[in-house]
Structure 1
């Protein structure tokens, strides 16, 4: 040959391994090139060009991995500097976007991209995560389409929706989006790459054929950092630039707070210096629940995303300090399309490799090489952070989060969830549900007669075999623990305020 979300659970999983230092870069690269050439020869003729582009992308990623494995951590802790004043702007500084024709003009320069490569397996569901019902029987995808359709109808704009699928989600997503054909939203899809998993010990690719259907476990979607190359390969990048689009807004499909924000769009396109910020990353204030989230630093005179995987072991506690690093990346990104095209044309796109160690069902230890979409920030001119309200970061990763968004804490209008004005605090409650009884969506739903009133809730912890009747009210701190062999049924109409309940409790409604 000629020369994207799995989320590792710990920093150790994500560091380039030191066990390959005995291999020279040339030896490892040469062996991989030979193996990839054999894979390409198994590819059907009509797919060969696209497959070759993907395998060339993987070959480059592998070379970066081997290099980083040999030189060690890419961050010298002592070279980290404080961000310059103005590198992170405050959301309160942004001006209102005007109205009418001005807003229509701004919106017509925007493309919305949702990262849609993940499955719902973490919540016990099959198929794309985006088709899980999250509120009023509406899915993540339904809510996204409603949001954009509302903008297009209200302002007469033509904001397109683009879904980056993976080979795991593409087929099911294509079936689902047919129902949006009558909506005022033009929908596009493209697939992120499929890369071969690598045997951790031998560094040999697992697949023996390029056909995914016959050996699906041997391939993986390489994280959302693959967005840039796959977007370019799909032809959509050039297509949107030719249509006069100027910025793309990228976010995770499961972040229900990541809606099109007209103030941000106005800042990028209609402010005093339109178009000068090529890359804007939305950040928000850290809490103790966010200590592992990536943050922005100044490094070698550039704004850079620092992930926990890049932090030397002796400085991990420093990285987690809320006082030292006060913000974290929401993965809501606004990127100038022409700048993206230029960076890719000049081949200056630079993202660190994330190494995800996994063990397959057959016991094989493998590695997946991935990259994070936000890590490209250092490749763009005029890159900025924007400290946004926490309301713009509302991810649904587990049923703990699902309980919050299904409750009366939020109102739903035009596909957008907003905190109820009846709640007296800006913060959302901390919720921890036992994974065995509540971890899967179908089990979770069976345990609630109706979703409790949570307007005055601060903290909820539930463990064991617990059910909730209809019209339950939770206030303050509520802890419910059913020990092994016990069961607790919270009766209909119960009001629990600052309560700790344990043991057995079964009250039958009459």
Structure 2
């Protein structure tokens, strides 16, 4: 192990006030990085996970569901900045529907669920050091949101980026904030413990948690799922969806041959020469949504047993210290995935849910879909799909990848997509009001303006 590099990183974290348990977790992964561990999971070491239970087969006792819902907390991952879309603050602040952001819609979903069930149902966000201030400013508009003495958020830990050449903490005088990164959403377990929030929730009588990403508007609080999870007695469960050809990049669960445990495998953990197996939606028919369910008492026991170090598989993420400057110093970011904890818990399980519980926005093409008339908001604050199938969308990266460019090209709002099967925008087009894209709509590389009221595409 590079004693100097590790010692420098540990000291940097101590000086920044990072909790000792988080430093211990970082030290664990640093040792793996030094040993050349990549986290690779070859196809020959796993079997496909083919027969999970399905939500459509679940029946519940309403009284049991009410009891469980009274013990449920909703936790939302809100550390992402949306840098891939050119954002520099919390992606959840992006307007989605009726001028409301992801953050506002998620809050309104929880408040609606409280009204419908009479449950306490706290909503708590895991923020990063870059998203906290803006997020709490928005949440202050909802005076009824806090529950008792519970906070509205807790803070994800931070760690130094490490130089690829010598594994020392990188220095970047142009912007010292860029010397730090979050440790991936697998840090949620450490952060819950070190913040004291896990114990606070247990002391307040909460036993279960529903966890999801803040860019996914599909995870409306569900008494049915809560009741199912509690009835299994499992410590941990993951929501899965059936894969389609459009889902080939999503991580999937598999059964590890060595010990029969369920594990999560992501793209970064698949050998390059075996990506054909990974992307085969027939071989691995379900993808992992990153919607999770935890038994908080059993989570606390696991953390105590492991001294706060969950030991999740390493994700070695190679980047540059300034993501916007590909000539800046190459660095490793040590990360782990929240969903990888499935292998830690004895008796962990999963359930296949409808696609309505997975509506993430990872790119502006996804944003076009959720802003369109393909969806309506219902009384639960949920996005309800109004067509039988959602069209595929491909937008020219040069003109639409960044959110500022995207917004400028839809000054009157996005077009109607209800009659579309597929949309491919190859050039730089600006859309007028009340445009409809129909059938297989293709706009060419020449670019231009789509006039008000136009119907573009082939309906045949």
TM-score, normalising length: structure 2: 0.91
Equivalent position of 2:169 in the other structure: 205
Q: Give the aligned partner of residue 14 of structure 1.
A: none
Report the 3-state secondary structure (helix = DSSP H, G, I; strand = E; otherwise coil) of the residue aligned with 2:332. strand
Q: Match of 1:204, SS?
A: coil
Structure 2 residue aligned with 1:21: none
Partner of 1:459: 422
Match of 1:150 among 103, 112, 116: 112
User: Compared with structure 1, are the counterparts of its residues 78 and 416 closer, same or farther at alpha carbon in structure 2 (3 Å cutoff)?
Assistant: same
Partner of 2:9: 36
* Alignment deviations for residues 205-243 of structure 1 (CA, whole Å, 9 cap, x no partner): 12599xxx9721111011100000011111111111122
**Aligned: 1:78 with 2:78:** no
Picking from 372, 381, 401, the partner of 1:439 is 401
Whether 2:249 is the aligned partner of 1:281: answer no
- Give SS of 1:334's match: strand
Taking the aligned partners of 2:61 and 2:137, their CA distance within structure 1 comes to 37
SS of the residue 2:420 aligns to: strand
Whichever of the two has the greater Rg, that structure is 1
CA contact (8 A) 2:13 2:159 kept: no
CA shift, 1:74, in A, is 5.0
Paired with 1:41 and 1:379, the residues of 2 have a C-alpha distance of 28
Distance 1:105 1:169, change over 3 A: same
Q: In the aligned structure 2, how far is the partner of 1:37 from the partner of 1:356?
A: 19
1:104–1:155: 8 Å Cα contact kept in structure 2?
A: yes
Shift of 1:32: 3.4
Distance 1:397 1:74 in 2: 24
Q: Alpha carbons of 1:116 and 1:184: their partners in 2 closer, same or farther (altered >3 Å)?
A: closer
In the alignment, is residue 482 of structure 1 matched against residue 445 of structure 2?
A: yes
Partners of 2:453 and 2:206 in 1: CA distance:
53
Return the TM-score normalized by structure 1. Answer: 0.82
Q: Would you say the 8 A contact 1:350–1:378 is kept in 2?
A: no
Separation (CA, whole Å) in 2 of partners of 1:84 and 1:328: 11
| Residue in structure 1 matched with residue 205 of structure 2 by the alignment | 244
Cα 1:366–1:447 change in 2 (3 A) is: same
1:231 aligned residue: 192
Q: How far did 1:51 drift?
A: 4.1
Cα-to-partner distance string for 1:394-438 (whole Å, 9 max, x where unaligned): 101111111111111111124211112xx2x2x311111112222
> Is the counterpart of residue 367 in structure 1 residue 332 in structure 2?
yes
- Of 7, 24, 28, 1:56 maps to 24
Structure 1's 206 and 323: CA in aligned 2 closer, same or farther, altered over 3 A?
same
- SS where residue 417 of structure 2 aligns? strand
- Structure 1 residue 267 corresponds to structure 2 residue 231: no
Residues 297, 305 of structure 1: 8 Å contact kept? yes
Q: Which residue in 1 is equivalent to 2:266?
A: 307
Q: CA deviation at 1:40?
A: 5.6
Partner of 1:471: 434
Q: Measure, in 2, the Cα distance between the counterparts of 1:297 and 1:317.
A: 16
Change (3 A) 1:379 1:38: closer
Paired position in structure 1 for 2:122: 160
Distance 1:120 1:418 in 2: 24
2-structure distance, mates of 1:176, 1:306: 35
Q: Distance in 1 between matches of 2:304 and 2:445?
A: 59
User: Quick check: 2:9–2:160 contact (8 Å CA) kept in 1?
Assistant: no
1:13-28 equivalence runs, <5 A: 27-28=1-2
Q: Aligned-residue CA RMSD in angstroms?
A: 2.4
Give, in angstroms, the shift of residue 73 of structure 1: 5.5
User: Do the aligned partners of 1:275 and 1:336 also contact (CA within 8 Å) in 2?
Assistant: no
Aligned residues: 448
User: In the superposition, relative to structure 1, how do residues 415 and 341 fare at CA in structure 2: closer, same or farther (>3 Å)?
Assistant: same
Tell me, which stretches of 5 or more residues in structure 1 are unaligned?
1-26, 501-510
Partner of 1:330: 289
Report the equivalent of 2:373. 408
The equivalent of 1:172 in structure 2 is 134
The residue number in structure 2 matching 1:357 is: 318
How far off is 1:276 after superposition? 1.5
